[in-house]
Amino acid sequence: MSLSGKTAIITGSNSGLGLGIARAFAAEGIDVVLNSFTDTEEDHALAAEIAEEHGVTARYIKADMSKGNEARGLIEAAGACDILVNNAGIQHVAPVDEFPADKWDAIIAINLSSAFHTTAAALPMMRKAGWGRVVNIASAHGLRASPYKSAYVAAKHGIVGLTKTVALECAQEPITCNAICPGYVLTPIIEKQLPDQMKTHNMDRETVLREVILVKQPSREFATIEQVAGAALFLCSPHGDQIRGTTISLDGGWTAS
């Protein structure tokens, strides 16, 4: 079955991993809806660029994923949702007893609750169309914990649990739900951390990448945006029909031990 003509909504997709997934989907003929909480000329220009390059329909719809009504409103505004990629996420690092309550609330809302709201709004559309795919971008931290990341780890573990529940509820329908669990991916967020890490550890860029950032990934290599996008496409293909409620790890061996 060709995916051409399907509509995919990717949350948090005006940069980084989400944008990479959107571009990969568009290259396969999938119409895409980009999203973030901003509403700039650059956001809409990205959609126009993707549409022109791949000959698909591409739109940008502003919605703040920290607000449940806006998360549901994104799906409603799109008007169709064959494929939902829940990718929006933020991070904050601090010990539990020093973790700001507002940061906890924001991370849980954006990284976890938004996926509940978008999925709840998208499933009726998928059922009406007779086909659907929900792909949740979790993390190696959905399967393993790290210190100082309590909210992020809790949210990503929650995403894995939500994935299993949705998959079971849709088990006798042509609708699947799975989670992709990347390890570290070299995105703009990681790039922004490098100067401070280099200064703190008195290391050059490559040493920081290998000995600080990638210390938990046995391969000592980043997963790539293209690899994560490829996994998402595989789950949306007919080969993914019986892959339901599971996690796919792209983490260089992080969760193997």
Are the C-beta atoms of residues 138 and 163 closer than 8 Å to each other?
yes
Burial level of 41, CB count in 10 A (0-12/13-18/19+)?
exposed
Closest CA to 111 of 72, 74, 160: 160
Domain positions in the chain are 7-184+223-256, 186-221
What are the φ and ψ backbone dihedral angles of 151, each rounded to 5 degrees? -70, -45
Whole-number pLDDT of residue 200: 87
pLDDT tens for the chain, 257 residues long, are: 689 999 999 999 999 999 999 999 999 999 999 999 999 999 999 999 999 999 999 999 999 999 999 999 999 999 999 999 999 999 999 999 999 999 999 999 999 999 999 999 999 999 999 999 999 999 999 999 999 999 999 999 999 999 999 999 999 999 999 999 999 998 877 888 888 889 989 999 999 999 989 999 999 999 999 999 999 999 999 999 999 999 999 999 999 98
**Structure-token pair, residue 166:** 């949705």
Are the C-beta atoms of residues 179 and 166 closer than 8 Å to each other?
no
d(CA 175, CA 186): 31
- Superfamily holding 7-184+223-256: NAD(P)-binding Rossmann-like Domain (3.40.50.720)
Query: How much is the pTM?
Result: 0.96
Whole-number pLDDT of residue 1: 65
- The residues annotated as belonging to the active site are 152
130: helix, coil or strand?
coil
22: helix, coil or strand?
helix
Strand partners, 5: none
Rounded (10°) CA dihedral 188, 190, 191, 194: 160
241: helix, coil or strand?
coil
State the alpha helices, DSSP H only, in the chain: 16-27, 41-54, 68-78, 101-108, 114-129, 150-169, 188-201, 205-208, 225-236
Whole-number pLDDT of residue 25: 98
Whole-number pLDDT of residue 196: 84
**What angle is formed at CA 215 by the lines to CA 212 and CA 219, rounded to 5 degrees?**
130
How far, CA to CA in Å, does 8 sit from each of 12, 140, 141, 173, 207?
13, 24, 25, 19, 38
d(CA 56, CA 220): 37
